[in-house]
Structure 1
């Protein structure tokens, strides 16, 4: 009597198919911390391995590494910006110092995050700021509105400020905030114990200096 054939082992369950948009989102979400830590020279093959997909699947969604980096920059410098932050900076019903505290307190959740800071530094160093949208964000959503607010504050106090001087003052303030973010993201051993208090102190110092300068004019 012939022996009964052993039953075949059950087939492994198929991995559920992931929609293209969901897969693209997954790649982008993984690429941001990857490039923040590895730099734009990081190998996409290693990125694909960290996600658990093949290199060819990654390139099916982002045909070139440059496409992926551009998508990362668009996400960081455009899509993650909350338009409500623009309104805070332009709200003339609030004193300037309170506006700045609210603006940097809210927008700082993005601008002072290690991932945003490290990506921004890499973009600036590689000379791609204009293409990546970083220059536009800085000029139109931070420095420009800051300069306008400073000029309005000085004009109300009877000590007009030139546009050039206002822009330089805006860069001076944002530079202090940016350096705080750099300490948090790059020089991790030199971070203040209370970053929020350090931010508030920087803004208070800037506004105090601006008031003293206006009084002396």
Structure 2
């Protein structure tokens, strides 16, 4: 097998392995599952830390669609349509066995996956959405985004992410029509946000 193909196969196996057993799983067990020796594993990934960083890159960053940021800020479309389109598409990426379980295991293990990804989301999604929400409420306010505003966006984001938790952690059914469910959540969020923002 070509080295690049072998590396990709090991990484793919590592993603599946850690999603199954959590990050307590060792490289010896991973190598056994992959049918290779531990020294061969370390030839491609010199330490477990290096391997975990590649797992993070593979699952959380390589699957990110840069077009999403453009969708969110395209004011030629109503904000509700933009948010709905983003979250419907985003949900297809995050509501997988590996994505949800690795994120939960990382938090329980105290890895930095969660903090890194949340910082990434703040820069690429949350702050942008807050600015778009201000405009949608008739405020051309470009002052720094406040934590209180981000918390409101978090409420919508977390509600959608929780659907994946329901499926892959609790083994409970998801809504039959996920796109419709997301559209309703976005609509509900926007109605509440405009009222709260006006009061604030």
- What band does the TM-score fall into relative to the shorter chain? 0.7 to 0.9
Q: C-alpha offsets along residues 4-24 of structure 1, whole Å, 9 cap, x if unaligned?
A: xxxxxxxxxxxxxx1211111
User: In the alignment, which of 104, 127, 131 is matched to residue 87 of structure 2?
Assistant: 104
Corresponding residue number in structure 2 for 1:21: 4
Larger RCO: 1 or 2 (CA < 8 Å, sep 6+): 2
Q: C-alpha offsets along residues 150-170 of structure 1, whole Å, 9 cap, x if unaligned?
A: 122123599x9x734321211
Q: Structure 1: which 5+ residue stretches go unaligned?
A: 1-17
The structure number with the bigger radius of gyration is: 1
Q: Per the alignment, do residues 90 and 125 of structure 1 end up closer, same or farther by CA in structure 2, a change over 3 Å counting?
A: farther
Mean Cα deviation higher: 33-42 or 47-56: 47-56
Q: C-alpha offsets along residues 26-75 of structure 1, whole Å, 9 cap, x if unaligned?
A: 11111112111110111222322222222221111111111111110011
List 4+ stretches of structure 1 deviating above 6 A.
Answer: none
1:200 counterpart = 2:183: yes
1:71 counterpart = 2:45: no
Q: Per the alignment, do residues 193 and 36 of structure 1 end up closer, same or farther by CA in structure 2, a change over 3 Å counting?
A: same
Q: Structure 2: which 5+ residue stretches go unaligned?
A: none
Find the aligned partners of 2:113 and 2:124 in 1 and give their Cα distance: 14
Find the aligned partners of 1:209 and 1:190 in 2 and give their Cα distance: 27
Over the residues paired in the alignment, what is the CA RMSD in angstroms?
2.6
Partners of 1:96 and 1:149 within 8 A in 2: yes
Corresponding residue number in structure 1 for 2:43: 60
1:143 counterpart = 2:111: no
Partners of 1:35 and 1:42 within 8 A in 2: yes
State the TM-score, normalizing by the size of structure 1.
0.80
Partners of 1:180 and 1:199 within 8 A in 2: no
